[in-house]
Structure 1
Amino acid sequence: MTQAAPAAAGALDGLVVLDLTRMLAGPYATMMLADQGARVVKIEPPGGDLTRRTGPHLPGALTIAEGGFGGYFASINRNKQSLALDLKQPAGKAALLRMVRGADVLVENYRCGVMERLGLGYEALIAENPRLVYAAMRGFGDPRSGRSPYADWPAYDPVAQAMGGIMGITGPVPAGAPTKIGPGVGDLVPATFLAFGIASACWRAQRTGRGQFVDVSMVDAVLAICERLVYQYSASHESPGPEGNGHPLLCPFGLFPAKDGHVSLGVPNDRFWVPLVQRMGRPELASDPRYASNEARMAHRAEVEALVGEWTARHTKAELSSLLGAEIPFGPVFDAQDIFEDAHFRARGMLVETEQPGAARALTVAGTPVHMSDTPGGVHRRAPLTGEHSDAVLQGFGFAPAEIAALRADHVIH
């Protein structure tokens, strides 16, 4: 495993982000910024983000009442500072406005109208700091960019997956019930788009001194990665259905059985068909007119998949890795134990051990896949305890000790 590295200057070093997000999508976006060196201040309500309660919890870890957190929170809130601030109190709102003047970015994922009712909407904050990048993520977007008929609906990952189109093309063939993607892509894909939008807006703000409103709809983001179904329907006026474990345009391409599980292999063009059939011991298939081109293989898809599947089923995943790994696009289907034991993820720093306060052992979280030669990002600090940095954060924004003491006495900070 890779140990959390000491803090180093990342590509976003010096960028100050106020993070008012909750659940998965928003915190994942700000985590991406923090992983690349941004100073991300997680502004939590009294008692902390509710996701602190979500497990699993390592034995002995600090309780929620003690400011602790479970694995869910640990994974997506690493590298951040925590300020516990009550925005429902006038003094809390005033403190946030003061912080906005010294920030580069504010990110929130409340439902439409919540920030406006608090007096903290985009127009109010941009008046305080014209160079502020204000980023919002909502299920169906913000009305400022086009009012959806569903603008007031709450949304979570399965809703975005359902309405964004990805469920409709996922599942077994022949078509059965729609299938949800395992990880929360309805949260994580929008989060990635939001981080990209924030970085783009910050680049412009750096050159012009003008901030702007960045708006990502969870449903829109899922549709964006389902771009194939859009042009397919536009061209044919037929709605694509579930694709199973294959590909609608390429063959063979997908999952195939092994003695001890499954493997993924693909022939994205004809030149990969030749080494595959050679490894299969069937070199004559390379020139067989039924299989020699992708178009021919698509026309005889069931036969091709049966031929390949019968061969792969006679070998273990390790044997197939040796036979195919360097020749055609190939990979064994891994479970979590396989991932922890595979050398690739250790070499790439994708399994990082982080402290979970109170626990006797470290918690492993997924590292960042973005590597930079001069400004390496990564996991360099565990997730914060609730309000762990309240005093330090406020001092950094110019609050005097007496002001901080007064805020604490009035239960505005915790």
Structure 2
Amino acid sequence: MGALDDLYVLDLTQVLAGPYCTMLLADMGAEVVKIERPGGDLIRSNPPFYDDPDAEAYGGYFQSVNRGKESLELDLGEDEDREAFLSLVEKADVVVENYRAGTMEKFDLGYERLREHNPGLVYSAIRGFGDPRTGETDRQGQPSFDLIAQALGGVMEITGEEDGPPTKVGPGVGDLFTAALNAVGILAALHHRERTGEGQFVDTAMYDSMISLCERTVYQYSYGDEAPTRQGNSHPTLFPYDAFETTDGYVVIAAFGTNHWQQLCTAMDRPALAEEYPNRASRLAHRETLREAIASWTREHDTETVLSALSGIPVAPVQDVADVFADDHVHDRDMLVDVAQPGTESSVTVAGNPIKMTRTPPDPGYRAPLLDENRAELLDEQVRASTRRPTPSDE
């Protein structure tokens, strides 16, 4: 039994932000029907492929964020397909889409129309710049991707080396953080509906989400009237809190607490530093000198030696994904999940779900669907009744 296994979600999203949001819901048991345009999600053909791109139904990008869903191919520009979609809306709890503002209205399938068919519907939109219903701006209707959101929201300005250019964060946080917030909004709207019977419109914008992610820069600017900028791996108010080179890699050290600072100085055989810089303010004021003292020590030792010497202090190696795959902790936490890859006889690995629950644990172990794979059971009521996931009321 999944925590959300009585939830029926129609997912009109594609690429990353929307699919990641609905993937979270599917992992927790929701029945998620991916409504795909003719030809399917744009990223079905995106690499990497396990073996043969001509034989495989989709690549790793699609597999990773569409696992556990069903697929139905519909052309919402056609009357028959619009009617099929509306028939599903009448039974749905949630509709999620990530088109530009106004796109669903062009099909006469906007929130107000769908609400006529299902007053309790939670309609959720993920857009670059939000929806006019929750705050109209001149940016709405403009295209947006992760890179655009990171640039506008301030992420790139505070990421990178101090003397280097603005740098995008590696993972697509403009998509992924927005998606996670949108899932929270959906669940909050469903909780409201349980108490009142009312559905509502949920809107999460990528630009807005990046401002929320950069919350530190907002209060820093408000308090000091100076815009924060790049400072590498260091922290504006904590020291040491940085990455340091070793003979065979890098480690990060977060020893800004006085107790940890004293332990670090002892491990480096520099007890005088602990006495000379006994509090946070003094360490921040002399951070460049102290950083070089730490860096000189770490550069003389390999990573394992540094980790051993700093046992008990917040310290870790900088790992690549091969290191992650080799880490027992990751496997013990079920953060690597094998799923079938259509077109091969092998399974592939995708990231697990970080939400852990003792009674209703998420289950991300189902592959992504083939295009239009579930048409029969989704559009045929008799077939659907015998094949849908069981709900508590069925038991």
Separation (CA, whole Å) in 2 of partners of 1:35 and 1:228? 31
Counterpart of 2:301 (choices 315, 326, 334) is: 315
Identity %: 48
Separation (CA, whole Å) in 2 of partners of 1:216 and 1:318? 43
Separation (CA, whole Å) in 2 of partners of 1:114 and 1:145? 16
- Aligned partner of 1:155 in structure 2 is 144
- 1:321: Cα distance to partner? 2.4
Is this contact kept in 1: 2:337–2:365, CA < 8 A? no
- Aligned partner of 1:219 in structure 2 is 207
1:273 aligns with 2:258: no
Separation (CA, whole Å) in 2 of partners of 1:344 and 1:396? 45
DSSP-derived class of the 1:244 partner = coil
Counterpart of 1:31 (choices 23, 28, 32) is: 23
Q: 1:91 to 1:397 in 2, by over 3 A?
A: farther
What TM-score do you get using the length of structure 1 for normalisation? Answer: 0.90
Separation (CA, whole Å) in 1 of partners of 2:231 and 2:131? 32
- 1:331: Cα distance to partner? 1.2
1:251 aligns with 2:236: no
1:230 aligns with 2:218: yes
1:81-100 C-alpha deviation (Å, 9 max, x unpaired): 11112211111111111111
1:294 aligns with 2:286: no
Is this contact kept in 2: 1:62–1:357, CA < 8 A? no
Aligned pair count reads 386
Separation (CA, whole Å) in 1 of partners of 2:383 and 2:350? 34
Alignment of 1:15-414 (within 5 A): 15-60=7-52, 63=55, 68-174=57-163, 176-288=164-276, 291-325=277-311, 327-396=312-381
1:8-41 C-alpha deviation (Å, 9 max, x unpaired): x211111110000011110000001111111111
- 1:398: Cα distance to partner? 8.3
1:129-179 C-alpha deviation (Å, 9 max, x unpaired): 1111000011010011111221121000000000011111111113x3111
DSSP-derived class of the 1:287 partner = helix
- Aligned partner of 2:392 in structure 1 is none
- 1:272: Cα distance to partner? 1.5
Is this contact kept in 2: 1:145–1:215, CA < 8 A? yes
Separation (CA, whole Å) in 2 of partners of 1:146 and 1:179? 29
What TM-score do you get using the length of structure 2 for normalisation? Answer: 0.94
**Where does structure 2 lack aligned partners over 5 or more consecutive residues?**
386-395
- The range that moved more, 38-47 or 389-398, is 389-398
Is this contact kept in 2: 1:34–1:79, CA < 8 A? yes
Q: 1:312 to 1:101 in 2, by over 3 A?
A: same
**Where does structure 1 lack aligned partners over 5 or more consecutive residues?**
1-8, 401-414
1:178-214 C-alpha deviation (Å, 9 max, x unpaired): 1111111111110111011011111111221111000
CA RMSD of aligned residues (A): 1.7
Q: Which has the higher contact order (CA 8 A, sep 6+)?
A: 1
Letter in 2 for 1:395: D
